[in-house]
Structure 1
Amino acid sequence: MQRNARPYLDSLLAIREDIDLELQEIEDWNCCGATEYMSVHRVAAHALVGRNLALARDQARDTDLLTAGCSACYLNLAKTDAQMREDAGLKDTVNQALAAGGLEYEPGAMKVRHLLDLVCHDIGYDAVKARVVKPLHGLKVAAYYGCQVVRPDYDSRWDSHEHPTAMDKLLAALGAEPVEWSLKTQCCGGHMSVIGPDVAFGLIRRLIHGAQEAGADLVVTLCPMCQLNLDAYQVEMNKHFHTDYQVPVLYFTQLMGLAFGKKPKDLGIGKEFVDAAPALAKIQAEAPKVAEAKRKRRPKPGDALPMPGME
């Protein structure tokens, strides 16, 4: 959330006081390994995630709640905690690795929750609705959960693994109109956008087309990877298929901020690739214009590590 998903972080920080949410960032956290590392080296991946769990447990102030806004981070944290509870051998091996850094983690010590789950089920729809000063009336939205949050559902947090409704209910509480569509938990392609673009573009096209056919003005997500693929790679997908989809993709926290009366700029709106201004005009929100200049990838530093070889 510090880089490509900065609007997610900015919008979360902008609304936290409105929903009485106190946040404490883990100091010296490390990458969770994303979606790939578990397949490359399972035990090392669990140890990597276990370090974050141990740091959270040691640093937590009067709480055993650990939340993540990133779907991959949430899944890896929940998976490691759950599998350490179920597998004594894995627990011992992970703790042997953590001991090298003076750490230890007792599985179950932290309750891992996704940010959306926390907002919907702890703060609650009624409390959110009570904060709304600019209802999103007239805005049709497609709630997109992606494939990593609602399944596997380690602690029975969601009402359905295939057709969840938590975000739909949240968006309705904000005054928006959630559309009915069948692709809300389908995969966005993950890192296939880099590894196998043709595959990713097909998945992205299916999702964007599905949302548009359902009548959505925009897609609302809870995952940085999903937002990146559906937004940034929508442009590339259009080139690939010679299409012209223009479906903006925003975070649920940005929609909350708009309904709470925050300025679009303070919510990171305007940084997306597909301009959200036309859709947000329906709710009289003056979104900053998306920069027309092409965004170029920064050149790789001369001292950067080379990409690993595949043997």
Structure 2
Amino acid sequence: MKYAYYPGCSLHATAVDYDESTQAVAKALGVELIEVPDWSCCGSTPAHCTDELLAAALPAQNLLAAKAVADQVVVCCSACFSRFKFAQKHIEEKDDLRAQLSETMPIDEIEGMQVRHLIDVLVRDVGLEKIEQAKQCDPQLKVVCYYGCLLTRPPKVTEWDDPEDPQMMDDLLRAAGMETIDWPFKTECCGATFALTRTDIVLRLTAEILQMAREVGADCISVACPLCHANLDMRQDDIRKKFGVECDIPIFYFTQLLGLALGLEKRDLGIGRALVNCDELLTAKGLA
């Protein structure tokens, strides 16, 4: 199985542990990820907030570069995934936008290009049965899966399994031997980029998410978004100081948890880079 791989800015910077664990898990499961040559930023929030043409052009240019590698591109960052899917949708539906893009790039060449999230690839292409067979241990972790805002919504764009009660990450981790706990905060917002401009909002939202995870008995939270990871991991000490709430709950990328089940080394999964220490938890579960 060969796919183009678009890491995006975060996975080469603040979320390098997401990239490391993605590469390690893909290799272990026989998934060949070939990094898109000369990729550039997807535009993220600033582009689509300021200029529709720019918001479509940046993902389109990356899709053209990915097309040279494979007909499917794997995008792990939820924000990048969202921007790629939105760009495809808008280019398909808006003739004037398509015409503008055609002036500077061969836009027709990206027709048929599939934008896939790694969760989708692992569940549908690799298959849960193969993951069950490949696991080297049952981690015995109680996990809540946090999908966040952008991965599942809007459903006409993301084409996820369920926009309000998604299951694919849960299915994946259960196949790897973990217990996933149903909870009501799967797709609640963490505050996203308000992290810099309205920290008060982010603290309130992340406190609610972390408290609920504790209330339902989770050992840790599994995420698929670099910004969600940053907000949930970095804000726990601030939450304790502001609200007097002790969270102390480790945040993992789903790829890190999957990698542990596959018997991969922690250093190869980027485990230990987060601020909230996970050593005690992993030792207690025999995963140290």
TM > 0.5:
yes
Change (3 A) 1:29 1:38: same
CA distance in 2, matches of 1:17, 1:55: 22
Q: Which consecutive segments of 4 or more residues in structure 1 shift more than 4 A?
A: none
CA distance in 1, matches of 2:115, 2:24: 23
Change (3 A) 1:237 1:94: farther
Amino acid at match of 1:45: A
Task: Kindly state the Cα deviation for residue 156 of structure 1 after the two structures are TM-superposed.
Answer: 6.8
The root-mean-square deviation of aligned C-alpha atoms, in Å, is 1.5
**Structure 1 unaligned regions, length at least 5:** 287-311
Change (3 A) 1:11 1:156: closer
**Structure 2 unaligned regions, length at least 5:** 1-10
TM-score if structure 2 supplies the norm length? 0.92
- Residue in 2 that maps onto 1:112: 115
Amino acid at match of 1:8: Y
| Structure richer in helix, relative to its length | 2
Note the alpha carbon deviations across 1:132-187, whole angstroms, 9 max, x for none.
Answer: 011112x1000011110111234674331100111111111111110110110111
CA distance in 2, matches of 1:154, 1:51: 23
For the pair shown, the structure with the greater C-alpha radius of gyration is 1
Query: Which of 161, 164, 176 is residue 163 of structure 2 equivalent to?
Result: 161
Amino acid at match of 1:275: N
- Residue in 1 that maps onto 2:77: 70
TM-score if structure 1 supplies the norm length? 0.85
8 A contact 1:78–1:154 mirrored in 2: no
CA distance in 1, matches of 2:189, 2:127: 27
Task: Kindly state the Cα deviation for residue 54 of structure 1 after the two structures are TM-superposed.
Answer: 1.5
- Residue in 2 that maps onto 1:124: 127
Residue-pair matches, total: 278
1:204 paired with 2:214, answer no
CA distance in 2, matches of 1:55, 1:104: 12
CA distance in 2, matches of 1:226, 1:67: 19
CA distance in 2, matches of 1:148, 1:113: 14
CA distance in 2, matches of 1:154, 1:106: 23
Query: Which of 37, 58, 73 is residue 48 of structure 1 equivalent to?
Result: 58
Matches within 5 A, 1:276-295: 276-286=278-288
CA distance in 1, matches of 2:181, 2:255: 18
CA distance in 2, matches of 1:240, 1:40: 34
SS in 1 for 2:125: helix
CA distance in 1, matches of 2:230, 2:137: 27
Note the alpha carbon deviations across 1:211-258, whole angstroms, 9 max, x for none.
Answer: 111110000011111111100122223223232210110011101110
8 A contact 2:151–2:158 mirrored in 1: no
1:20 paired with 2:33, answer no
Note the alpha carbon deviations across 1:41-66, whole angstroms, 9 max, x for none.
Answer: 12222112211112112x22xx3101
Amino acid at match of 2:190: C
